[in-house]
Amino acid sequence: MAMQEELEKQGDYLFKYRGQLPLIILFAAIGIFVYKKIYSIPLSTELSDTYILTSFAISLVGFFVRVYTVGHTPDRTSGRNTKQQVAEALNTTGSYSMVRHPLYVGNYFMWFGLSMLTCNVWFIAVFTLIYWVYYERIMYAEEQFLRRKFGEDYLKWAEQTPAFLPQFSNFRKPSLAFNWKKVLKKEKNGFFAVVLVIFLFNYISDFKKGSYGVSYDIWFFLMIFGLVAYLSLKYIRKFTNLLN
């Protein structure tokens, strides 16, 4: 099989299982954090309040990139589908006027902030490398799909728009108004995932210091808020039409 077809085949396969990658990264990160080795390069000596807030802020940047992008896109585009590529329209305004894959840019910052919680430079570097290799193939497969479907319109847009590093001077106002219902329906798990991971790392850090109870701090209450919001939105979506 030629390299072009091989990369597209790999991308289509990885696209179907991209939701599992964060779990693999999470378990690896916890393992690194719990069993720190002497040869690791510490990014921080401990999970101080300032350090955790910095990690949280970076993750929130990624989350809001996703929120802004999804909120301004039409239905059946920029979704969380896993079975196959779907695009009923070519998004070229808003986030998509600056970068061709804004959702994956958002994902990177969300996970990069959380990877910082390991306090290990090697893990962060390896995470970045794995993320690039993994998503480069997914982006390749997506672009092959868009190129076949939209032809010259896609080629013209792709020629002017970077793949991953945003070019802010290209910004064009979104063609659609912001849709909060779509955001609440599609992105309900993002915030909860971030605060849950921070809570887990904070708990593990306290446990390693000899504190075996749950600290009722801001991360505990943010985690509870995120859980309640996630379950509530999941219920509303399943049993009502409020988000339609």
CATH architecture for segment(s) 3-178:
Up-down Bundle (1.20)
Question: Is pLDDT at 85 greater than 70 in this prediction?
Answer: no
- Asked whether the beta carbons of 60 and 193 are under 8 A apart, the reply is no
Contacting residues for 20 by C-beta, under 8 A, at least 6 apart: none
Q: Tell me: the pLDDT tens digits for 37-57?
A: 544 555 555 678 888 999 999
Contacting residues for 137 by C-beta, under 8 A, at least 6 apart: 7, 10, 11, 14
Q: What is the 3-state secondary structure (H, E, C) of 15-79?
A: HHCCCCHHHHHHHHHHHHHHCCCCCCCECCCCCCHHHHHHHHHHHHHHHHHHHHHHHCCCCCCCC
Q: Tell me: the pLDDT tens digits for 101-141?
A: 999 999 999 999 999 998 888 889 999 999 998 888 888 88
Q: Tell me: the pLDDT tens digits for 196-234?
A: 999 999 888 888 777 777 888 899 999 999 999 999 999
pTM: predicted TM-score of the whole model, two decimal places: 0.87
Domain-by-domain residue ranges, the chain? 3-178
CA 177 from chain centre, in angstroms, equals 23
